[in-house]
Structure formats: C-alpha cells, structure tokens
C-alpha cells in the first residue's frame, strides 16, 4: 500500500493542507515547528484512529486538537498492492472512518480486514516512528515481532489471549482484587455457608451440653427439694418445741402443785352442795308430813260409814227401782180394771164358739164355689148338644160351592172357552154332591157324645147343691141357691177372725199382768226390810217415810264420798314423803362417810381442797392441750426435757435452720430459672429445623466452585496451548527475521556486530559482537542501540511483507544520534526497504537531506518555515512545492 | 429352606435413610417446591414408618446410615426418634445397626429412646431373640471399618428364624466405599435365613433363597446418580417361604436427561426439546416431583452458543420457567454442555497452520505424563486456594483438554473471521 495523496482539513496546527506523494522514498525537509511530527501523527490517525500517545514517563496525552477549533478531519488516497485505489476519510466523530473504492462503494470492511494483522501500537512502533519510539523497542519484541505474523491468515493470537485472559481473570486471578472474581465470590459464599453449618454444629454441641446440664441440674434440684423438705420438717418441729417451752414449764408447775393436794377416793366434787341441799330438803319433808296428818284427822268423822257405804249406795239405787215398781203396780191395776171380762173361763168358751162358726163358713164357701162350677159345666153341655142338632139340618155350604163353580163356567163361556166351561160345571156338580154326603155323616157322631157329658155333669151339680143346703141350714141361713153367693161370706169370715184374735190377746195380757203384780209386791217388801235393817245399823231412827230415810242416807253418803279422796291422797303423800325423807337422811350419811368427814365443817374443808385440785387439774389439762398442739409426740420425758431447755439456744438453732432453708430455696429458684432457660434453649435448638437447605447450598456452591475451577482450568490450558504453540512457532519462524536483522545491523555497524537473537522465554534481544561476545541492548551506546532496533524493524518489515500488505513506513528524524558513516550505511538500508515499502522521511538537518539526496536521489519536499514561527500557528493552505506526478485529474481530493 | 420355619413373620427392611441429605438447591422463588425437596428424606422415612404401622409388621430393621451426618444433625435425630416412638406406640420393635455414616457413639445418649428400639453393639455381633425370630447384627464403630464384619457373625443355634443385619460392601462394589467388605460366601445360610443389608443405595437382591440376601437401597434418591424408584423391602416369611417385596417410598425422583443439539438452530429449539424431555421423565416418576440434570449432547451450530456460560444459564432459566407450573413439579437443577462445535477437529489438526500446531500439541500433551504434570502445574494457583474441590481426575483432565481445544478453535476462528 502506498499513499498517493494526503489532505488534512484540520489536525493540530495543520489545516487545509494537501500533499501528493510518489512511490519510493520521499523526504520532507523542514526546520523545527514546520509540522513534520504533526504530519506523522496525522498519518497514524487516519489509518488506525489512534489519538493517544504514550510519552516517556508512561503518561498519556491526547494528540493534536486543531488550533483553529472544530473537529479533526483528514483524508488519504492510497494505492493497494492489488492496484485498487481507496479513499480513506477519517473524522473525529464516532464511526468517523469511511473507505470508498474507485467505484464509490464502501470498502471499509475490506480495508480493515487487510489491516487486521496490525494494530495501532504495532504501526506506531514498527511503521511510523520517531526518535522516541525508535529507542523503545525492547519489551515489545515478542509481541511486535511474532504475534502479527503467526501464519494464520490473519488470526490474531493477541486478541485470543486477551479474550481468554479476561475470561480467566473474571473467574480467578492470583493478582487483582479477590472479591471481584467469581471463584473468590463462590469461596466467600461457601465460607458463609460453612459458618452457618459451624453455627448449627455448635448449636448441636450446645444442645448436647445443655442436655447434660439439664440432667445435672434436675438431679441437684431433686436433692435440694428433699433436703429442704427434711429441714422444713425439722424447723417446724423445733418451732413447736420453742413455742411449747413456757407451757411445758407451767404444766410441770401444775403437776407439782397437784402432788401436794391428794386425791380423796369417793369424794365427789359436788358433795358439799348436795349435803346442804339434802339438809334443807329434810326440813321441808318433815313439815309436809305433819300438815298431811292434820288434814287427815279433820276428815275422820265423815269416814266412819266407810263399811256401809256400798250398802247405802245400793239402797239409794234400789229406792229408785222401788219407786218405779210402785208406779208399775198402779198401772197394772188400771189395766186389769179396764179388761171386759174378768172371768177367764167364759172368755175361753167365747173364743171356741167363734172358731167353729169360722170353720163352717169356710166350708160353705168352698161348696158354693163347686156348686157354681158344676152348674156352669151342665149349662155348657146343654148348649153343645143343641148346637150339634142345629148344624145337621142346614145344607148351605153345598149351594155356595155349586154357585161358585157355575159362575166360573159362565165366565169361561163368555170368553168362548167352551171346553173349560164344561169342565168347571162338571167339577161344581161333583163337589156339591160330595159335600152333602160328608155333612150328614159327621153330625150324627157329635150329638151322641154331648148328651153323655150332660148327664154326668148334672149329677155332680145336684150333689154339691145338697151339701150347700145342709151347711147353710146348720148356720141358720136360707138355702136359696141363688142368694147363697160365695163372696157374701168373705167379709163375715174376716170379722170373725178379728174377734177371735182380740179375745186371745186379752186373755194373754191378763195373765201376764197378774204375774207381774205378784212379783212387784215381793220386791217392794224385800226393799223395805233392807232399809230398816240399814237404818238400824247406821244409828238412824227408823223413819215413817221411806223418802226421809233415803234423804238422810244420801247426805251421809255424800259427806263420806267427799272425804274419801282427799284422805286417800293425804295418806299416800305422807307415805311418799316419808320415803323421801328416809332417802335424804341416808344420802346425808353416805356423803359424810364417803368424804370421811365427821361433820359438815370437816366436809366443807375437804370440799374446798378438792375444788382447788380440780382447778389445777383443769389448768394442767389446758396446758397439755396446748402442748400437743406444738409437739408431735408429747410425753412426760419430752415435756420435762423441753421445760429445762434454754429458749435462746433453741431459737438460734431455729434461725440457723431457717437460713439453711432460705438458701436452699434461693438455690432452688436459681436452678429453676436456669432450667427454664436451658429448656427454652433446647426447644429453640430443636426448632432449628433441617440442614437440607443449607447443605444443598453448600453442595451447590461446591458444584459451582468445581465448575468455575474447571472453566478456569480450561481457559488457562487454552492460553498455555496458545503460548506454547506460539513458542514453537517462533522457534521455527524467528530465525529468518533475526538473521535478516543481523545482516542489516552488521551492515550499519560496518561489521562490528554480527548477530541478533531473541531468546524464547525472555522478552528481550541480544547481539553478538565481532569478538563473539553477547551484548544486551542496554550495554550498547544510544546510537548503536537505535541502529539495532532500526535493523530489527527493517528485517521485520521485509519478512512481514512476504505475507501481508506492505504499509507505508514513516520515520521522523531518526538519524540524529548516528555518526556520519553509520548514517550513510543506514541510508543504504532504507534504500533497500524502499524496494517493498513506500518510505516517508522527515529531517530538519541539511546534512541529512543532502545525504539522502546524493545517495539515492531521494525526492525532497521542503516544508517552508511558518510565518512568525509561533507554536500553534497553522500550516495553512500551502500547496505542494513540487508538481504532483501522474494525472492530476485522477486525484480530485 | 428349613422346615422349622412355621410361624408367619413379617418385617420391614430399610437402610441408608441418609436423613436430611441435600437433594439439590431450589430457587427460593419456587416456594411450592423447596420445602418438599428439602424434607424429602424425612418424608420417605415417615412413609416407611406408616407402611410398618399399616402392615402391622413384627419388627422394623434399619441396616445403617440412618443419618448423613450423625453429630451435628439434630433434626434428623429428632425425626428418627419420633418415627421410633410411633413404632413403639404400635407395638413394633426396631432393630438398628449403624453404618459408616452414623457409627454408634455418644450422640445416642442425648436423646431418650423408646424401649422398643435396640441399637446393635459395635464391638461384636449382638444376638437378640424375640418370640418369633433371632436377630443378629453389628454396628460400625467408626466411619472407616475395613474389617470383614460378616465373618464375625456366629453360626446359628437352633431352628429359630434368623435375620442378619449389616452395613457392608459385598463383593467389593467399586462404586461404593469399601467399608466392612465381605463376600457373598460370608453371608451364609448357617448364619442367617435373611440378610438385611445396607450401604449400596440401589436396591437389589443378591441371593433369592437359602439364604435371602438383599440390599434395601435408600428410600429416597439424593442425586441424579440415584434415579428411579427408591424404597424398602416388606418381607413375609411363612412356613419355608420368604417373600420380599420392594415398596417405593420416595417422594422426589431424580433424572439425568440428555438433549441432543444435532440439527438445532436456535436456543429456543433446545429449550423446547429439554422441556419435552423433562415432562416425559416426570410422567415416568408416577406423580412424584422430579429433579433433573440436563446435558446438551451432539454437535451443531448451537454448540458455539452453548460454549458461553451466559447462554447456558439463559437456557436453564427458560426451561425452569416453562416447567414452572407443571404438576407434578419439575425442577431442572443444572444444565451441562457436552455438545461439540460444528467442525471436524481432526481435519483442523492436520492442517499446517497455527491452529493445526496447537491441536497437535494438545494431542501430544494428553498422551504424556508431562502434559498431565503441566496441567496440574497450571491449575495449582486456583486449586491450592480451594481445599474444597478435589484434585483433577484423569477424566476431568481429558475434558479440560477438550474444552481448551474448543475454546481455541472458537476464538481463533472468530478472530480470523
């Protein structure tokens, strides 16, 4: 590729500048500040867009902003190796690079592909360099020399390395910030997960410890509880003892007092009271007896009749009966006087006559009945006989039958049934005849029977009538059969019956009355006799009047009865009271003897003594009750022992025990709290749940870690393979470049140095002198070192041109440190390069310009000095100093 | 089988409860799911207790590894205590032998256990005679028992039905730790009629008769390797016949699902296929919740995208979102990419280019000790910092080379373009 025309619109101090270039070497001559370096930089910019350069101190600065203001803009017309003419336009804007071919089509991609073997830096170091770049080839050697010529048809190993390195660094880097790498991040995550697992494991360990602690504390708690219970019981007992001590002492005192007051056997507590009560009771009873006896004496006269009292009472009662008997006798005499007959025999005869008449009358009545019956039978027999005789003389039934049959016959005739009429008429005639015959025979038999019956009945009737008449005659009644009606005797018979009964009754009554009358007389006589006898015995004058006697009897009897009850009562009361008195006296005697007292005074003394004893006993009992409230197993020994115990000592024992119990309680509470905490913590840990999720995370992190490791390892391996392959490649390809460089260097140094070598593993080069000694570039003088680097560049350019597009080479004042001889040798080398590459040289010294002009007839273009020669003044609008070769019409920039 | 076994005996054989094990991290937003998954091991154990109670078994056997971690896990201890209390209430005795995860120790005494629970001794085999059977078992005293415990079991004495309980590795199963190793010959009929074993998490019948030897497996699978139905054995012995029946108890199933990206153009295609695979697996889990690990396999244009971690995460999130409301619940736990680039590595390796040289170098390194050493050297800075991740295994190193090559191919191709 060679530049045919350069047109700079605005770049640094240059604006609207145009330059046409020929093939081969062109030298731009100019003083300082005539824009030589700016032109160099502009060419780099157009081809690679590089606007930044590294200065010596590693500082980066932005290049060449237009001094006239506005954006950078430049254009270049290049002829490619294949003959194509391309127009390159670059502006400062984004995507501000465009390439068009002669046909005006976009050839940007094609151009960039062609340039891909080289990047901006390589171009700067190898193709377009000034004095600064010339002396800094070391350190770039491997990359510069070999990467771009790996023989891959354009493949960029450096690019591959960059991609791989970046990918590897994204995962893991030994250098760099640890946190930002994926691998480190996963390790961090894993660390967190492990921490969590450790926490869980610690929790489990804690759990196990807590279980142990819980058991220890629980058993301690149990022991404490038992201890506290035992001590509480002891304290309780001791407190009871303490409280019981005064009572025990009082009890003991009471017992001692009791010992001085002996018990009197049989002495009742209330003996004295009873004694006194009995004494007063005795007086009362005696008085009561006397009063009863006096009353009894007053009643004595009334009681004299005691043996006759029943008899008097009987007489009084019988008197009443006697009066009734007197009355009854009077009544009987009245009744007897009123009776009709005084003769009993006559009365009996009257009754017999009446009874006979009654018998005859009853017989008459019966016969009259029979007479009437038989007479009626006779009349009926006569009637029957007459009826039979009448029926035999009358033939009317036959006529009726014949007439009926004849009527039927006429009816049939009228209806025209002649045959039937004739039959009916015949039947009528036969029937009439048959009837007449039957009627005559029957009537003859009946008449004979009725006649015989009549004869029998008439005889019977006659016999009965005779008897009736006979009886009626005996009774003196007319025997007219028609008058003698049976019913007429009914009333007469009843009257007779009544008269007969009345007569019978009166007879009986009389008999009874007479018997009673006799009995009453006897009774009254007996009563009177008894009355008299009694009056005599009662020393009562016999009274004429029975009633007067009885009045006296009654009075006496009443007085007696009124006195009997009180007297009996007094007598009984006297008996009872005497018994009581007896008992009372007996009891008094007993009391004295039981108490062993002679008299009441001594009894009183004893009573007082026993009363006191009782009081003390009661007190002792009350003390005892108090004591058993305090002591569980009270006995005399215990009480005696307690009574003698020092309360202060026992109290301090109690206090000590109470403190122990309090301590135990405090410990119990503390353990309880601790246990609660432990149980809560145990429950919390048990709730922590499963590990599956955390362990899944751990597993996942491990998988990712392993995956990242493998990914990284694959990249690192790929890088290693690339580098290793490149080394091999370098070993096989490098000698050609270096041999060429050695030759050029030998030529420039006029044989002082013979070989150039780039060891594989060291990013440096070494040279061999004519004396076979090897030199590091740093050991060479500056000029010689620059000559070495120039030789390497030239060798590389030539080698590269074998496979790649030969880019224009631009060198800015590179010969300043060369001596004249070596500078001349260098011009030869440039001449050699110019066979394959377009060369653009910049120089400010006239010797240099002349050297090139004389040595190789180099086309020299002199850049005129800028007016005023001030920094930043633009190199404006100056046309090329020399006419442009070729057809100007083709270069219409 | 001996004729002397005449009574009917029934019991439940469980092992490897690994209570409170992690089953995988669930997004906090899936509140409907995370509690169920975190409590799955507990729930499976409760199911075992419920089964024992429902079936009114004679006893309950636990052949080790009740806990995943013995000492720190209180929740697991309380849970197992509660379960045993329930059994005690039902009049069912429990016989527990400890394994390598829960060797018998101090922790036992911190809890008050029902009297019906018997923890077997760890110093020598312990024999317990019940009214129906003789139970012989032994616990692990520490986490890494290397002795043959089965060989210590006494010869049977008499005709009583005998059950051996042991947590052991029979026949040197390489996928499990070689604790209490023994041979099937050690688990002989003259020691027990039924061997109730624990340690291997996949349930299997090692011997069907004379004697019956069974690994109960764990009642709840814990990761993608423990997929499929998990449960316990309900065993009935009547007369001379022992009938073991595997009863699933798990509440969450695991599945490892691979989705091929062959022919896929977009990430949406991949998400759609993944959701389909998840749902099919959920259907197979018979109504249980499903945790699945997805892996993208095959090769295709999608391979480039799936090499980017951000795209992998996006795809996983989209699968999660799509299955968010599914019932039974689905939780896509992880997405791994095993898919390759749509280029032929061997062709690239044969070319005389920088990439060709690189691939050739990679090949040489993979086959050499120096290559192995080199990679260990390279990763040392990271692996030295993280003790939690183990040293790289050979297969991981192989994967690393593959991944590194893919990175280089992708990048060099990208920068070339």
pLDDT tier, A278 (very low <50, low <70, confident <90, very high otherwise): confident
Query: pLDDT digits over A694-741, tens only?
Result: 888 888 888 888 888 888 899 999 999 988 887 777 666 666 778 888
Q: Give the range with max mean pLDDT: A520-529, B10-19, B306-315.
A: B10-19
Highest mean pLDDT among A48-62, A115-129, A821-835, B20-34: A821-835
Question: Among the listed ranges A68-77, A266-275, B309-318, which one has the minimum average pLDDT value?
Answer: A266-275
- Stretch B135-149: mean pLDDT, rounded? 90
Model pTM score: 0.53
Model confidence at A59, pLDDT cuts 50, 70, 90, reads low
Contacts of A890 (CB under 8 A, 6+ apart): A85
Query: Between residues A638 and A826, which one has the greater pLDDT?
Result: A826
Would the CB atoms of B24 and A696 count as touching at under 8 Å? yes
- Per-residue pLDDT of B207-218, as tens digits, reads 998 899 999 999
- Quote the pLDDT of residue B169: 93
Q: Which of A315-319, A443-447, A598-602, B223-227 is least confident? A: A443-447
Across the interface, which of B381, B389, B407 has its CB nearest the CB of A706? B389
Q: What is the pLDDT of residues A818-874, one digit of tens each?
A: 888 898 889 888 988 888 899 999 988 888 888 888 887 788 888 876 543 344 444
**How would DSSP label each residue in A619-688?**
HHHHHHHHHHHH-SS--HHHHHHHHTS-HHHHHHHHHHHHHHHHHHHHHHHHHHHHHHHHHHHHHHHHTT
- Selection from A38, A43, A50, A37 nearest residue A3 by Cα: A43
Cross-chain CB nearest to B362 (options A696, A698, A721)? A721
Quick: pLDDT tens for A680-695: 998 888 887 778 888 8
Q: Does residue A401 register a pLDDT over 70?
A: no
Give the up-direction half-sphere exposure of residue A716: CA atoms within 13 A in the CB hemisphere. Answer: 23
> Does B72 contact A200 at a Cβ distance shorter than 8 Å?
yes
pLDDT confidence band for A226 (50 / 70 / 90): very high
CB < 8 Å to B383, chain A: 709
A779 in reach of chain B (CB within 8 A): no
Contact B381 A703 (CB under 8 A): no
Arithmetic mean of pLDDT over chain A: 80
Contact (Cβ atoms closer than 8 angstroms) between residue B60 and residue B137: no
pLDDT greater at residue A30 or residue A413:
A30
The pLDDT, as a whole number, for residue B126 is: 93
Judged against a pLDDT cut of 60, whether residue B415 lies above it is answered with no
Using the Cβ of A112 and the Cβ atoms of chain B, whether some distance falls under 8 Å is answered with no
pLDDT of res. B391: 75
Q: Does residue A203 belong to the interface with chain B, where contact is any CB pair within 8 Å?
A: yes
Q: Which helix (H) or strand (E) holds B319?
A: helix B309-322
Cβ distance B386 to A155 less than 8 Å, yes or no, reads no
Please give the average per-residue pLDDT across A571-580, as a whole number. 90
- The DSSP code for B299 is B
Which of the two residues, A644 and A883, has the higher pLDDT score?
Answer: A644
DSSP state of B216: -
Task: Tell me how crowded residue B37 is: count the other CB atoms within 10 A of its CB.
Answer: 25
Query: Do the Cβ atoms of A207 and B110 come within 8 Å?
Result: yes
Three-state DSSP at A832 gives helix
Q: With contacts defined as CB-CB under 8 Å, which chain B residues touch A695? A: 20-22, 68
Distances B370 to A719, B77, B365, B366, B367 between C-alpha atoms, Å: 17, 50, 7, 9, 9
pLDDT (average), residues A212-224: 91
Average pLDDT, chain B: 87
Q: How far is B71 from chain A (nearest CA, A)?
A: 8
Nearest to A115 by CA among A80, A85, A77, A87: A80
Q: Are A730 and B396 in contact (CB under 8 A)?
A: no
Both structure tokens of A602 = 């001594």
Residue A244: which of A567, A780, A625 has the closest Cα? A625
**Closest by alpha carbon to B218, among B45, B81, B34?**
B45
Predicted local confidence at residue A282, as pLDDT: 87
Top-ranked range on mean pLDDT: pick from A123-127, A141-145, B113-117: B113-117
Helix count and strand count (H, E) for chain A = 21, 16
CB contacts of A190 in chain B (<8 Å) are 388
Return the structure tokens found at A415: 């209806």
Q: Which of A692, A697, A716, A722 to probe by mutation at the B interface, max B CB count within 10 Å?
A: A692
Complex confidence, ipTM: 0.86
Q: What is the mean pLDDT of residues B331-341?
A: 83
Model pLDDT, residue A873: 44
Residues 6 or more apart whose Cβ sits within 8 Å of residue B171 = B183, B184
Chain A residues 433-472 with CB within 8 Å of chain B: none
Q: Is A192 on the interface with B (CB under 8 A)?
A: no
Residue length, chain B? 417
Return d(Cα A730, Cα A824) in angstroms, integer: 32
Residues of A in contact with B24 (CB under 8 A): 696, 699-700
Q: Which of A207, A690, A705 sits opposite B389 (nearest CB)?
A: A705
**What is the reported pLDDT for A691?**
81
Note which residues in 144-173 of chain A have CB less than 8 A from chain B.
150-157, 159-160, 163-164, 172
User: What is the per-residue pLDDT across A182-214, written as a single tens digit (0 to 9) for each?
Assistant: 888 888 888 899 898 888 888 888 888 898 899
pLDDT value at position A439? 59
Query: Strand pairing partners for A79?
Result: A2, A85
For the segment A142-177, what is each residue's pLDDT rounded down to a tens digit?
Answer: 555 554 444 443 446 777 888 888 888 888 887 755
Question: Could you report the per-residue pLDDT of A238-251, keeping only the tens digit for each?
Answer: 888 888 888 888 88
Q: Do A152 and B73 touch (CB under 8 A)?
A: no
B20 and A718 within 8 Å at the Cβ level: the answer is no
Residue with tokens 């020929």: A22
Residue in A872, A889, A731, A715 with CA at minimum distance from that of residue A12? A872
Q: If we measure between CA atoms, which residue out of A803, A849, A825, A740 comes closest to residue A25?
A: A849
Contact flag B41-A711 (C-beta cutoff 8 Å): no
Q: Would you tell me how many other CB atoms lie within 10 Å of the CB of residue A198?
A: 11
């Amino acid at each position: 590729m060679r530049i045919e025309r350069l047109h700079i619109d605005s770049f640094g101090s240059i604006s609207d500048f145009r330059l046409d270039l020929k093939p081969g070497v062109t030298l731009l001559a100019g003083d300082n500040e005539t824009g030589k370096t700016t032109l160099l930089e502009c060419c780099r910019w157009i081809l690679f867009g590089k606007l930044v350069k590294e200065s010596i101190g590693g500082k980066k600065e932005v290049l060449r902003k237009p001094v006239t203001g506005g954006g950078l803009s430049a254009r270049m017309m290049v002829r490619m190796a294949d003959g194509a003419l391309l127009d390159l336009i670059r502006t400062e804007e984004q995507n501000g690079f465009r390439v068009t071919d002669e046909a005006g089509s976009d050839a940007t991609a094609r151009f960039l592909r062609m340039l891909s073997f080289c990047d901006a830096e390589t171009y700067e170091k190898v193709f377009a360099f000034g004095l600064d770049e010339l002396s800094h080839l070391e350190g770039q050697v491997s990359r510069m020399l070999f990467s771009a010529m790996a023989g891959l048809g354009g493949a960029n190993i450096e690019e591959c390395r960059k991609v791989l390195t970046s990918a590897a660094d994204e995962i893991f880097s030994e250098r760099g910030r640890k946190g930002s790498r994926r691998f480190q991040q996963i390790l961090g995550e894993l660390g967190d997960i492990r921490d969590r697992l450790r926490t869980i494991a610690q929790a489990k360990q804690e759990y196990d410890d807590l279980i142990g602690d819980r058991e220890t504390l629980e058993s301690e708690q149990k022991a404490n509880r038992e201890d506290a219970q035992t001590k509480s019981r002891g304290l309780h007992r001791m407190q009871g003892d303490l409280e019981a001590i005064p009572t025990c002492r009082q009890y003991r005192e009471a017992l001692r007092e009791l010992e001085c007051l002996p018990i009197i056997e049989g002495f009742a507590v209330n003996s004295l009271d009873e004694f006194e009560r009995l004494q007063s009771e005795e007086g009362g009873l005696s008085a009561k007896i006397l009063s009863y006896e006096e009353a009894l004496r007053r009643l004595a006269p009334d009681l004299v009749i005691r043996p006759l009292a029943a008899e008097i009472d009987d007489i009084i009662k019988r008197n009443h009966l006697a009066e009734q008997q007197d009355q009854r006798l009077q009544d009987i005499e009245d009744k007897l006087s009123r009776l009709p007959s005084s003769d009993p025999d006559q009365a009996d005869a009257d009754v017999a006559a009446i009874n006979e008449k009654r018998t005859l009358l009853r017989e008459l009545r019966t016969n009259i009945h029979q007479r009437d019956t038989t007479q009626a039978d006779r009349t009926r027999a006569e009637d029957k006989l007459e009826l039979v005789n009448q029926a035999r003389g009358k033939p009317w039934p036959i006529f009726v039958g014949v007439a009926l049959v004849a009527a039927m016959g006429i009816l049939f005739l009228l209806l025209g049934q002649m045959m039937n009429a004739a039959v009916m008429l015949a039947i009528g005639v036969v029937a009439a005849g048959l009837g007449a015959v039957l009627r005559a025979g029957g009537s003859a038999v009946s008449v004979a029977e009725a006649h015989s019956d009549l004869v029998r009945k008439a005889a019977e009737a006659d016999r009965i009538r005779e008897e009736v008449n006979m009886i009626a005659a005996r009774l003196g009644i007319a025997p007219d059969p028609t008058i003698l009606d049976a019913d007429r005797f009914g009333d007469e018979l009843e009257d007779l019956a009544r008269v007969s009964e009345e007569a019978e009754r009166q007879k009986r009554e009389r008999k009874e009355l007479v018997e009673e009358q006799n009995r009453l007389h006897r009774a009254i006589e007996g009563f009177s006799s008894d009355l008299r006898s009694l009056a005599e015995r009662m020393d009562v004058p016999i009274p004429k009047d029975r009633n007067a006697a009885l009045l006296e009897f009654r009075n006496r009897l009443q007085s007696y009865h009124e006195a009997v009850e009180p007297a009996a009562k007094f007598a009984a009361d006297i008996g009872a009271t005497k018994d009581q008195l007896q008992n009372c006296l007996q009891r008094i005697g007993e009391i004295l003897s039981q108490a062993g007292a002679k008299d009441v005074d001594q009894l009183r003394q004893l009573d007082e003594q026993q009363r006191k004893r009782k009081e003390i006993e009661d007190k002792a009992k009350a003390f005892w009750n108090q004591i058993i409230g305090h002591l569980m197993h009270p006995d005399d020994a215990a009480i005696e022992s307690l009574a003698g115990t020092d309360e202060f000592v026992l109290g301090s024992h109690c206090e000590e025990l109470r403190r122990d119990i309090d301590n135990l309680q405090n410990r119990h509470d503390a353990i309880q709290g601790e246990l609660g905490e432990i149980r809560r913590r145990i429950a919390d840990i048990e709730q922590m749940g499963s590990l599956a999720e955390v362990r899944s995370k751990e597993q996942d992190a491990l998988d990712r870690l392993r995956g990242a490791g493998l990914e990284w390892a694959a990249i690192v391996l790929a890088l290693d393979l690339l580098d290793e392959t490149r080394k091999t490649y370098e070993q096989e390809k490098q000698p050609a470049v270096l041999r060429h460089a050695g030759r050029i260097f030998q030529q420039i140094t006029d044989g002082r140095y013979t070989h150039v070598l780039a060891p594989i593993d060291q990013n440096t080069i070494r040279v061999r002198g004519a004396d076979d000694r090897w030199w590091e570039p740093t050991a060479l003088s500056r000029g010689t070192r620059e000559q070495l680097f120039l030789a390497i560049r030239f060798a590389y350019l030539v080698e590269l041109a074998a496979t790649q597009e030969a880019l224009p080479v631009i060198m800015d004042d590179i010969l300043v440190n060369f001596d004249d001889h070596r500078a001349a040798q260098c011009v030869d080398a440039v001449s050699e390069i110019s066979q394959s590459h377009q060369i653009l040289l910049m120089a400010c010294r006239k010797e240099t310009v002349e050297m090139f002009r004389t040595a190789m007839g180099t086309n020299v273009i002199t850049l005129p000095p800028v007016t005023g020669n001030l920094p930043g003044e633009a190199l404006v609008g100056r046309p090329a100093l020399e006419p442009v070769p070729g057809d100007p019409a083709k270069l219409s920039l | 089988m001996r004729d002397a076994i005449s009574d009917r005996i029934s019991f439940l054989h469980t092992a490897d409860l690994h209570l409170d094990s992690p089953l995988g991290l669930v997004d906090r937003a899936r509140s409907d799911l995370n509690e169920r998954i975190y409590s799955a091991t507990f729930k499976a154990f409760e199911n075992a207790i419920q089964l024992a109670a429902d079936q009114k078994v004679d006893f309950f056997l636990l052949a080790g590894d009740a806990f995943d971690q013995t000492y720190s896990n209180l929740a697991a201890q309380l849970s197992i205590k509660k379960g045993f209390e329930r059994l005690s209430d039902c009049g069912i005795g429990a016989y527990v032998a400890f394994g390598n995860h829960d060797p018998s120790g101090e922790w036992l005494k911190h809890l008050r256990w029902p009297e019906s629970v018997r923890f077997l001794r760890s110093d020598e085999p312990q024999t317990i005679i019940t009214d129906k059977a003789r139970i012989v078992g032994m616990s692990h005293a520490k986490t890494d028992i290397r002795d043959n415990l089965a060989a210590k079991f006494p010869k049977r004495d008499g005709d009583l039905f005998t059950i051996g309980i042991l947590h052991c590795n029979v026949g040197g199963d390489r996928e499990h730790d070689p604790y209490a190793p023994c041979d099937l010959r050690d688990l002989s009929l003259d020691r027990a009629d039924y061997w109730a074993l624990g340690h291997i998490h996949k349930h299997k019948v090692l011997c069907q008769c004379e004697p019956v030897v069974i690994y109960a497996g764990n009642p709840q699978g814990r990761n993608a390797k423990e997929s499929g139905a998990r449960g316990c054995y309900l065993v009935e012995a009547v007369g001379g016949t022992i009938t073991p029946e595997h009863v699933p108890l798990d509440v969450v199933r695991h599945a490892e699902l691979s989705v091929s990206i062959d022919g896929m153009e977009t990430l949406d295609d991949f998400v759609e296929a993944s959701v389909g695979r998840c749902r099919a697996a959920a259907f197979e889990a018979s109504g249980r919740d499903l945790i699945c690990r997805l892996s993208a396999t095959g090769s295709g244009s999608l391979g480039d995208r799936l090499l980017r971690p951000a795209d992998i995460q996006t795809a996983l999130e989209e699968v999660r979102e799509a299955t968010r409301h599914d019932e039974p619940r689905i939780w896509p736990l992880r997405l791994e990419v095993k898919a390759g680039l749509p280029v032929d590595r061997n062709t690239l390796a044969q070319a005389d280019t920088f990439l060709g040289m690189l691939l050739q170098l990679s090949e040489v390194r993979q086959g050499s000790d120096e290559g192995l050493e080199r990679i260990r050297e390279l990763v040392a800075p990271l692996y030295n910092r993280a003790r939690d991740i183990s040293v790289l295994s050979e297969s991981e190193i192989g994967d690393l080379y593959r991944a590194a090559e893919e990175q280089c191919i992708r990048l060099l191709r990208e920068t070339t373009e």
